[in-house]
């Protein structure tokens, strides 16, 4: 049985494929911007950011929980917390350059919320991982800004040109990339989904 990945993220899809997990990618139809407007993005605490990513991840489930699909639905949301601010997707190259200049040589915190719904049960887990970014040269930032998907990633991509400049504990790499497969499998078991074909290859 496939699971439903309610996310348009190519990174999350890639992680599931690499793990050998069968899934169908059906992006959620919720208006994320409307949820973002409910929250402050400046002068906030880590606890506030945790609440923020949790609410967004759970909201992405809503269009799927209204009907009994008999399939697990997985959503996630990732943001970067930096010096009291929530840093989201840059959308433009100018914003992308600005963000990477901010992160250069400093530590930020990646918050990822993963939500799962199956058989009437919903759970959500939030992880916060510190990430040190080495000093970035202008040409490296320019390369990052021109990579596929970068403008649609919260804060930065954990792969591609920036990869060698990130200092992340190995066990935290999947969280920073946007979806921990090991965590997801544990969550699926918690909601009662134990299909043998969910084991990573």
Which candidate in 31, 77, 175, 197 is catalytic?
Answer: 77
> Does the annotation mark 77 as catalytic?
yes
For 45-77, the DSSP string reads -HHHHHHHHHHHHHHHHHHHHTS--SS-EEEEE
Which helix H or strand E contains 121, and what residues bound it? strand 121-133
Q: Is 104 exposed, middle or buried (0-12, 13-18, 19+ CB in 10 A)?
A: middle
Question: How many Å apart are CA 21 and CA 14, to the nearest integer?
Answer: 10
Question: How many Å apart are CA 89 and CA 96, to the nearest integer?
Answer: 8
Q: Tell me phi and psi for residue 9, to 5 degrees.
A: -65, 120
Question: How many Å apart are CA 71 and CA 146, to the nearest integer?
Answer: 37
**Catalytic annotation, residues:** 77
């Amino acid at each position: 049985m496939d699971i439903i990945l309610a996310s348009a993220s190519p990174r999350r899809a890639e992680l599931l494929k690499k793990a050998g997990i069968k899934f169908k990618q059906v992006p959620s139809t919720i208006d994320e911007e409307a949820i973002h407007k409910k929250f402050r993005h400046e002068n906030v605490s880590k606890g506030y950011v945790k609440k923020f990513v949790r609410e967004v991840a759970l909201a992405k489930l809503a269009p799927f929980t209204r009907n009994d699909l008999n399939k697990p639905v997985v959503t996630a949301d990732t943001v970067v917390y930096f010096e009291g601010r929530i840093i989201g997707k840059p959308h433009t190259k100018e914003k992308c350059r600005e963000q990477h200049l901010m992160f250069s040589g400093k530590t930020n915190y990646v918050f990822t919320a993963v939500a799962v719904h199956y058989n009437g049960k919903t759970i959500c887990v939030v992880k916060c991982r510190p990430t040190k970014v080495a000093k970035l040269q202008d040409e490296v930032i320019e390369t990052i800004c021109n990579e596929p998907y970068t403008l649609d990633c919260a804060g930065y991509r954990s792969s591609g040109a920036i990869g060698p400049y990130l200092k992340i504990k190995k066990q935290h790499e999947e969280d920073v990339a946007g979806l921990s497969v090991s965590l997801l499998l544990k969550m699926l078991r918690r909601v009662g989904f134990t299909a043998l074909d969910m084991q990573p290859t």
